[in-house]
Amino acid sequence: MNEQFFLGYPVEFKNICLVYPPKIKEIISNSKYGMYNKLLTFSQEEIEDEFVAKGWDLKGLLTPFEFLLNNAYHDRDRIEAITKEAFEFFIHEPVTFLYEQKAILIGDIKELKKIEELRILRETDFFDFQNLIRQATGAKVIEPPRADEDPRVKAIKAKARYRDKIKEKKGLGLKLSTSLAAICCMNMSLNPLNIGELSYAAVPILMNMYQEKEKYNLDIDSILAGGDSKKIKPQYWIRNLED
């Protein structure tokens, strides 16, 4: 959990830009949010899956940064425009794609006064930038891909990603509307009138913590009601859930 994102504050990324955690109301009111998120967090493994699905030669496999610039370059009217929107949604600044230099210029180029003010996002920083975007949206960060990874492990991970996509299409898991309604019932002074100001990154954290609290209380009640204390092992709910 990133405390700044949890509270809705931006986080500075390597003196290049600030990354802002979107509020619930910003996500709900923007129909393009899902595309924004996908464009900036597309992983190396997902690109590989797409190459395999389309029957493309993996020798020409692109990195996420190359994939982003390549798609924008070949569709200036649509993909480039929406990719720029995606950056502005998360960093609150315009960007310029420098295709020949394989770089992204952050900020309004018209406002630059000297060369020292240039802020450039390059391939070497893009993986960390993606992980910061993931944190800003309450998603888990990922490990960089390993070139020497066992093919069998890669195959297992690919199947897991495929299952996740199937679940996503079927709508399994809690919908955002369900999570928001549940949070409004947690006696935290959050209600439909103000929950839109909550950072989106806080939603899974609050839900997970409250579920742990409910489970702890249920286990205690079960023991007090005569349950087998050897089988029921209450675990106090205030703890680092990622441990």
Phi, psi (deg, nearest 5) at residue 199: -70, 145
What pLDDT, on the 0 to 100 scale, is given for residue 54?
Answer: 76
CA distance 143 to 180: 30
CA distance 85 to 26: 14
| Burial tier of 19 (Cβ tally within 10 Å: 0-12, 13-18, 19+) | buried
Phi, psi (deg, nearest 5) at residue 119: -120, 115
pLDDT, one tens digit per residue, over 172-216 is: 578 899 999 999 999 889 999 999 999 999 999 999 999 999 999
Predicted model pTM? 0.87
| Burial tier of 231 (Cβ tally within 10 Å: 0-12, 13-18, 19+) | exposed
Ranges of each domain in the chain: 3-170, 176-224
CA distance 21 to 42: 18
Q: In sequence order, which residues have a C-beta less than 8 Å from that of residue 232 and are 6 or more positions away?
A: 219, 222, 223
CA distance 200 to 27: 8
Mean pLDDT for each consecutive 10-residue tract of the chain (243 residues)?
A: 94 97 97 96 89 76 93 95 98 97 93 83 97 95 79 72 68 82 92 96 93 94 91 90 63
CA distance 11 to 91: 10
pLDDT, one tens digit per residue, over 22-32 is: 999 999 999 99
Is 63 within 8 Å of 55 (Cβ atoms)?
Answer: no
